[in-house]
Structure 1
Amino acid sequence: MMQEFKSAHESRVSITELMLPSHSNFGGKVHGGHILNLMDQIAFACASKHSQCYCVTASVNRVDFLHPVEVGELLTLRASINYTGRTSMVVGVRVESENITKGTKRHCNSSYFTMVAKDEDGKSISIPGLILENEQGVRRFARSKKRKEEAFIRDTQFESSHFNMKEHLEGLKDENVKLSLH
């Protein structure tokens, strides 16, 4: 039987992987796509552990690559549940690189993956809620809830049925665009 509520630490996951030459791009740094793939894998593992179901990635909120990752460095990814809805979860993923010879660590990026639990037929399925145990948990939950609300407003504001071009033309004057409207 599925638990009604679970704490974030019950489904927390971390992985560490050595970055190999096969992970590099043409510039000799670790390819961002490889890092994104690892982030998606750990978000899946964390969400599946929380929900005890197969999960799919619904969206990824901003991935800013703060520092390049070098071949030969250790990459550590940590994931935990920040928010739970009825069928979806927001998984916070933090990525750090470590230069093994120097012993230095750097925060490379953090991102938020919205994952949805699915049943055997591919239908969304209810998940356990989240037990908030401290101020950090409340902050993360509130931030994810706010981000979700802002995304809805942002997305609906620019739907073609609601969009008013005249409201936005003034803001384009200093941009690198040339208007050729017909």
Structure 2
Amino acid sequence: MHDISTEYKENFEGKPPRLSQVEMTELVLPNDTNLLGNLLGGRLMHWIDIAGAMAASRHSNRIVATVALDSLDFRHPARMGELVMLKAKLTWVGRTSMEVKVSAYAENLKTGNVILTNQAYITFVALDSEGKPAPVPPLILETEEEKREFEEAEERRAERLKRRAKG
């Protein structure tokens, strides 16, 4: 587990992930698609970044900056005329940085069918009024799933730091 100093814990009231989660919905319009009528990957990445940043800002009560995108899985295309629902939830919090998991679902409005299309893990850093990294409240883990996601996020962070050290 990530070590957070006692002073840090005493100065910040923690928040559970449910208090900062974000759900947003977008309609896939012709301008959002490629020649096959599928949602452009870049447009989806933009929406994912926005949803993730809103969840991180909600947790930290600060402006945040995107630091890393650890993974983005393209499992199924979203098509023109479908709704894309994005669900963003914090999985890990350090001293100034936060990891957010964003899941994207496509809903076919004609059939009502909903499918998980994409999933991403994004790291954000909270910024103070001068644009410097600022401390954030700890994450209060309430469920076994949240504890598992936190541990998995720790592993992703360790791998990211290892890659950065090599680089």
When normalised by structure 2's length, the TM-score is 0.90
Q: Structure 2: how far apart are the matches of 1:65 and 1:134? A: 27
Q: Structure 2: how far apart are the matches of 1:79 and 1:138? A: 17
Q: Which runs of 5+ in 2 are unaligned?
A: 1-10
Moved more, 14-23 or 46-55: 14-23
Higher relative contact order (CA 8 A, sep 6+): 2
Partner-residue secondary structure (3-state), 1:6: coil
Which of 141, 149, 158 is the matching residue for 2:150? 141
Partner-residue secondary structure (3-state), 2:49: helix
Which of 101, 114, 126 is the matching residue for 1:105? 114
Structure 2 residue 56 is the aligned partner of structure 1 residue 70: no
How much has 1:26 moved relative to structure 2? 2.5
Which of 16, 38, 59 is the matching residue for 2:47? 38
How much has 1:152 moved relative to structure 2? 2.0
Partner-residue secondary structure (3-state), 2:74: coil
Structure 2 residue 63 is the aligned partner of structure 1 residue 57: no
Deviations 1:109-155 (A, max 9, x none): 11111000001110000000000111011001000001111222234
Partner-residue secondary structure (3-state), 1:5: coil
Partner-residue secondary structure (3-state), 1:64: strand
Q: Structure 2: how far apart are the matches of 1:65 and 1:96? A: 11
Q: Which amino acid aligns with 2:64?
A: C
Which of 20, 24, 30 is the matching residue for 1:21? 30
Post-superposition, which runs of at least 4 consecutive aligned residues in structure 1 deviate over 3 A? none
The aligned runs of 1:91-170 (5 Å cut-off) are 91-156=100-165, 158-159=166-167
Deviations 1:30-59 (A, max 9, x none): 111111000000011000000000000001
Partner-residue secondary structure (3-state), 1:129: coil
Equivalent residue pairs, number: 157
Work out which of the two has the higher radius of gyration on C-alpha atoms and give 1 or 2. Answer: 1
Which of 12, 28, 44 is the matching residue for 2:21? 12
How much has 1:28 moved relative to structure 2? 2.0
Q: Structure 2: how far apart are the matches of 1:108 and 1:145? A: 25
Structure 2 residue 93 is the aligned partner of structure 1 residue 84: yes
When normalised by structure 1's length, the TM-score is 0.83
Q: Structure 1: how far apart are the matches of 2:142 and 2:37? A: 43
